[in-house]
């Protein structure tokens, strides 16, 4: 077992604060403890959006820009883009040959994705061969670096499981000890819902972007759902029934802020509008430095580009070492 972790995200464009709290902040901490690889899974985007690629490159750049702003450090982590590490595709071929058909067909996320595609919301019309191979491609991402741990959310654990199965099968078929079995490292994260109380996402129009201005952040927070039974300003409020705003306070406020807000709400001494104005200031304070850093990278796209290309070169070196072992085990040229 090595000390390596790897994880990735699809290029969905500018990220929201749910990505920050749920994923990136965790990566930023992990990079101090592990040899870390973080990548943009742009080939994975093609599994559902093969016919909608015009923003793909910019979306990848936006994702990396957000990561850097949040504190991923190219001196500590290898930051790369999947399609700039073509070794991934070669490993995918070997793995696809040994993966039983029923392993990919039972992938639980596949059913959800198929539903989205059938509903016409997914961007494409066809369920392709490449989509079926999604878990194999993800296994290739992980095994290419022989990562010991894969920090992911609960929805991706099944994919790490299949990666373990594929690693074991490869080793056993070729009588080799090429791959170790990676383990999921469940994110220690705080979940944040969108301002309407549903899952935060750009397609729901309920998100706050890391890159948003203070004004638009405040505007969004003013839309946050509160205690629905509180109609007039001097009605007594119930923080535990305040569906969104108070939950945000619990994420962004200090213990003291939370206590004070609770008291003011329960005694009817603060109105929801004022409460949310204070909350917006808190949220903006939390993202101030990150947003300044983001601005810097936005103004210096050549730096982001350099980080992507040199990270991808570095990733290729490690990947080539793994592939050498793989070719030897498969007894291929
Ligand atoms: N499937 C992941 C997602 O949708 C992205 C991903 C692709 C990934 N390859 C990976 C994550 C390898 C971790 C490791 O979020
Ligand atoms: Fe929620 Fe604040 Fe309104 Fe109380 S005062 S219901 S905590 S928004």
CB of 40 closer than 8 Å to CB of 215 = no
Q: Which helix (H) or strand (E) holds 17?
A: helix 17-19
Cα–ligand 1 centroid distance for 131 (angstroms): 13
Helix (H) or strand (E) holding 56: helix 56-70
Nearest by Cα to 76 from 37, 25, 21: 37
Mutate to test the pocket of ligand 1, among 45, 141, 150 (most ligand atoms within 8 A of CB): 141
Contact present, 89 and 41 (Cβ < 8 Å): no
> What is the 138 CA–ligand 1 centroid distance (Å)?
6
In this structure, the residue with its CA closest to atom 9 of ligand 1 is 138
Cβ(242) – ligand 2 distance below 6 Å: yes
**Residue indicated by tokens 């109609």:** 231
- Confidence at residue 299, expressed as pLDDT on a 0 to 100 scale: 97
Token pair listed for 269: 């001494």
Residues 175 and 169 sit within 8 Å (Cβ to Cβ): no
What's the gap in Å between 279 CA and the centre of ligand 2?
10
Ligand 2 atom closest to the CA of 276, numbered from 1: 8
User: What is the structure's pLDDT at 79?
Assistant: 98
Distance in angstroms (rounded) separating the CA atoms of residues 90 and 245: 48
Q: Write down the pLDDT at residue 122.
A: 59
Predicted local distance difference test score (pLDDT) of residue 124: 66
* 239 alpha carbon – ligand 2 mean position (Å): 6
Q: Is 178 in the pocket of ligand 2 (CB under 6 A)?
A: no
The encoded tokens of residue 189 equal 């994260």
The β-bridge relationship of strands 149-152 and 183-186 is parallel
Q: Indicate if ligand 2 lies below 6 Å from the C-beta of 226.
A: yes
Whether the CB-CB separation of 319 and 87 falls below 8 Å is answered with yes
CA 166/CA 24 separation, integer angstroms: 27
CA 317 distance to own-chain centroid: 25
Q: With the C-alpha atoms ordered 144, 148, 152, 158, is the resulting torsion angle positive or negative? A: positive
Which pLDDT does position 328 carry in this prediction? 97
For tokens 């699809």, the residue is: 10
Counting ligand 1 atoms within 8 A of each CB, the residue from 24, 34, 44 with the most, and so the one to mutate, is 44
Q: How far is the CA of 136 from the centre of ligand 1 (A)?
A: 11
Residues of the chain whose pLDDT is less than 70?
1, 121-124
Q: Say how far apart CA 69 and CA 136 lie, in whole Å.
A: 31
Beta carbons of 80 and 308 less than 8 angstroms apart: yes
138 lines ligand 1 (CB under 6 A): yes
Residue 258 has a pLDDT of: 97
Cβ of 150 below 6 Å from ligand 1: yes
Q: Tokens 């929801």, residue? A: 272
Could you identify the atom of ligand 2 that is nearest to the CA of residue 241? Answer: 6
C-beta separation of 276 from 195 below 8 A: no
pLDDT score, position 107: 87
Tell me the best of 138, 142, 186 to mutate to test the pocket of ligand 1, counting ligand atoms within 8 Å of each CB and taking the most.
138
How many of the other CB atoms lie within 10 Å of CB of 301? 11
Which residue, 172, 169, 165, 167, is CA-closest to 147? 167
* Probe residue for ligand 1, chosen from 5, 10, 41, 164 as the CB with the greatest number of ligand atoms within 8 Å: 41
């Amino acid at each position: 077992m090595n000390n390596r972790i790897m994880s990735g995200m699809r290029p969905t464009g500018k990220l929201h604060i749910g990505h920050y709290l749920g994923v990136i902040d965790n990566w930023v901490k992990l990079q101090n403890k592990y040899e870390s690889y973080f990548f943009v899974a742009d080939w994975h985007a093609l599994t559902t959006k093969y016919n909608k690629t015009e923003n793909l490159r910019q979306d990848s750049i936006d994702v990396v820009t957000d990561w850097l702003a949040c504190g991923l450090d190219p001196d500590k982590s290898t930051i790369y883009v999947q399609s700039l590490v073509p070794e991934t595709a070669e490993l995918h071929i070997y793995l696809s040959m040994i993966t039983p058909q029923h392993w990919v067909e039972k992938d639980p996320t596949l059913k959800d994705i198929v539903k989205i595609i059938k509903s016409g919301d997914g961007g494409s019309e066809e369920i392709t061969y490449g989509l079926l191979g999604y878990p194999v491609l993800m296994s290739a991402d992980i095994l290419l670096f022989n990562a010991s741990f894969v920090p992911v959310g609960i929805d991706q654990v099944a994919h790490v499981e299949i990666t373990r199965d594929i690693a074991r099968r490869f080793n056993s078929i070729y009588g080799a000890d090429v791959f170790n079995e990676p383990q999921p490292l469940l994110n220690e994260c705080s979940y944040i819902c969108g301002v309407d109380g549903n899952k935060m996402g750009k397609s729901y129009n309920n998100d706050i972007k890391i890159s948003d201005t203070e004004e638009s952040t405040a505007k969004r927070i003013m839309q946050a759902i509160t205690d629905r039974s509180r109609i007039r300003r001097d009605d007594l409020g119930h923080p535990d029934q305040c569906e969104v705003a108070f939950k945000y306070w619990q994420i962004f406020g200090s213990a003291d802020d939370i206590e004070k807000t609770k008291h003011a709400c329960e005694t009817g001494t603060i109105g929801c509008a004022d409460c949310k104005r204070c909350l917006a200031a808190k949220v903006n304070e939390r993202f101030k430095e990150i947003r300044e850093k983001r601005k810097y990278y936005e103004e210096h796209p050549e730096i982001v580009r350099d980080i992507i290309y040199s990270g991808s070169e570095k990733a290729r070196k490690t990947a080539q070492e793994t592939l050498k072992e793989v070719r030897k085990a498969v007894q291929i040229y």
